[in-house]
Amino acid sequence: MHKLRGFLAWVFAFTALVCLRIAFTTTLQTIHGHYNLLVLRNLLVLLAPAMNAVQCLVFGAAWWTIWKGRPSARRWGIAASLIYVLIFCSLAYFLYLSRSGWSEFRLFLSMFWVILAIGIAGLIAFLRRYKQAEPIPEIPNIPG
């Protein structure tokens, strides 16, 4: 279980970097973009960089706490894994809504299943209590 958590920590680190890049580029596009008076679209355009920034923070905190072996690593790992599951659910929902575009999304369908698999593996790894190995007691030196 320890190796799975270590692997997931690096997956979270990579995802944090991807989310940071997406947040940065969408923020720049929002600043330089000129949008019509579509209020809902403008709200979604402004909300996307904020959501990516929040995801970046969660994934980054999960990686950092797991890497450092902090007690809060379990909670951050669960939060990051839930984000993966929610991303899969939202992608599957949008895929369902755009039935006409099903053929274009077939290529990406395997990636969606990998996202779900990472989320479920993370939930399994972090929901179970993991007892760390007890440190070996030191043998006192006997003078003489």
pLDDT at position 23, please? 83
99: in domain? yes
Tokens of 48: 């996307």
Could you read off the pLDDT of 74-99 as tens digits, one per residue? 999 999 999 999 988 887 777 777 66
Return the pLDDT at 123: 93
What's the structural domain count of the chain? 1
On the 0-12 / 13-18 / 19+ scale of CB atoms within 10 A, 119 is buried
Q: What is the pLDDT of residues 91-141, one digit of tens each?
A: 777 777 766 555 666 666 677 888 899 999 999 999 887 665 556 677 777
Look over the chain and give the mean of its residue pLDDT values, rounded to a whole number.
80
Q: Is residue 136 domain-resident?
A: no
pLDDT, residue 80, reads 95
Q: What is the pLDDT of residue 39?
A: 59
Q: How confident is the model at residue 53 (pLDDT cuts 50, 70, 90)?
A: confident
* Amino acid (one-letter) located at 86: L
What percentage of the chain reaches a pLDDT higher than 70? 73
Q: What is the pTM of this model?
A: 0.74
The boundaries of the domain holding residue 111 are 2-127
Q: Do 5 and 122 form a contact (C-beta atoms < 8 A)?
A: no
* pLDDT one-digit tens code per residue, 23-41: 888 777 766 665 555 556 6
Query: How distant, in Å, are the alpha carbons of 4, 49, 138 from that of 22?
Result: 27, 7, 50
Q: Is residue 101 part of a domain?
A: yes
Predicted local confidence at residue 37, as pLDDT: 53
At residue 62, the pLDDT reads: 94
Q: Is residue 13 part of a domain?
A: yes
CA-CA-CA-CA torsion for 9, 14, 17, 18, nearest 10 degrees?
-130
In a domain, 84, yes or no: yes
Q: Are 59 and 83 in contact (CB under 8 A)?
A: yes
